[in-house]
Amino acid sequence: MDLRDYGWNEELSAQFEAYAQRGLVPARVVKQSRDLSTLVTPLGELPGKVSGKFRHETAEQADFPVVGDWVTIEPAGDNLALIHAVLPRRSAFTRKAAGETVEAQVAAANVDTVFLVSGLDGDFNLRRIERYLTTAWTSAAEPIIVLNKADLCPDLQNVLTAVEGVAPGVPVVAVSALSEDGLKDLEPFIVPRKTVALLGSSGVGKSTLINRLLGEERLPTAPMSDAAEGRGRHTTTARELVLLPGGALLIDTPGMRELQLWADEEGLDRTFDDIEKLGARCRFPDCRHDREPGCAVRAAVTAGALDPRRLESYVKLRRELSFMELKKDVKKRRQQEKAAGRRFASMVKEIKKHKPRYQ
């Protein structure tokens, strides 16, 4: 197996050097289920597990291997590979794990290009596109906006203009996965040895699109009625990272398809670059563009240069983001308290051990 077909390159080679000296071998995770990874390695495809040391020393769930990760392995006999380390991720799609506090869960790593798929039917929503863009910029993958079901859209030109308005500088491609119209326009973004992934709500046509890219009906697609009711299906492919016929790589894991917003300040600023630029001219540097005097952002809305719905969407996402940050802080504090508790317990143990000396 030639790992270059899976995206191995000079940069990874350089990162791997230190491990190569220890006799380890590189591999890419093509599937992940609970404790077991499926890996492509120079020795062929192997099941893999993280080493005991890795498990012991890795506190954050987000640091465990996921689909798309490059890892260093030691062939451990019995047709099993031991994973020793995860190489630094070029990009990562992260989502919130369920629960009261916010824990990062990585859905997929090392995605080069992400197709943000919307359907040009009842589902269409500019605000949702802004959300997905924020998640995409945060991940560090390059976003492409894909407007599917173009066959159902009577005024495509207007829609394209509106989408380009909320996504300055981002390529927008209208396609019909059903009639295959426009699929050619996606080709420049489906490059050999580069990894693409799709993100979008249920029913927008991701499975249909993936089947087109694969050139075969590998994924079951939803009957119209199910899609209309937003009923989810659990589609599972044989592999979650697959080689496409043209040599590009596609990641399609159930966890990747619909992420809850996971974003950082930078991702938000990039999505709302226009508002950021305007905001620099507000009288107060910490202007919330609400009621403050001298607000350049609200002035732009009054002048008709900025859509008030876009401003509203920005304010809403910003609020969600600070709420998330707050919860992250709570989690960090709890972890620190736990660590302090552990240190205290071991101190007590230590004292008890030595007690006889002082008696």
Determine the Cα–Cα distance for residues 75 and 27; give it in Å rounded to an integer: 11
Restricted to residues 139-158, the positions that interact with ligand GDP (CB under 6 A) are 148-149, 151-152
Determine the Cα–Cα distance for residues 150 and 211; give it in Å rounded to an integer: 17
Query: Could you tell which of Zn ion, ligand GDP, none binds residue 313, using a CB distance below 5 to 8 A set by kind?
Result: none
Considering only 150, 196, 282, 317, the residue that binds Zn ion (CB under 5 A) is: 282
147, β-bridge pairs: 118, 174
182 binds ligand GDP (CB under 6 A): no
258 binds ligand GDP (CB under 6 A): no
204 binds ligand GDP (CB under 6 A): yes
Backbone angles phi, psi at 241, to 5 degrees: -120, 120
Enumerate residues 6+ apart whose C-beta is below 8 A from 29.
37, 38, 39, 48, 65, 66, 67, 68, 69, 70, 71, 241
Q: How many residues bind ligand GDP (CB under 6 A)?
A: 19
SS3 state at 89: coil
CB 166 within 8 A of CB 126: yes
227 binds Zn ion (CB under 5 A): no
Q: How far is the CB of 239 from ligand GDP (least distance, A)?
A: 17
In this structure, the strands spanning 113-119 and 70-75 are unpaired
Closest residue (Cβ) to ligand GDP? 205
208 binds ligand GDP (CB under 6 A): yes
Q: How many residues bind Zn ion (CB under 5 A)?
A: 5
212 binds ligand GDP (CB under 6 A): no
Cα 67 from chain centroid (whole Å): 11
Determine the Cα–Cα distance for residues 48 and 59; give it in Å rounded to an integer: 20
Q: How far is the CB of 198 from ligand GDP (least distance, A)?
A: 8
Residue 131 or 149 with smaller CB distance to ligand GDP: 149
Residue 18 or 152 with smaller CB distance to ligand GDP: 152
Alpha-carbon separation of residue 327 from 109, 182, 332 (angstroms): 24, 43, 9
Residues 265-284, one symbol each (x = binds ligand GDP by CB under 6 A, - = not), give --------------------
Q: List residues binding Zn ion (CB under 5 A).
A: 282, 287, 289, 295, 297
Residues that bind ligand GDP (CB under 6 A): 148-149, 151-152, 176-178, 200, 202-208, 221-222, 224, 227
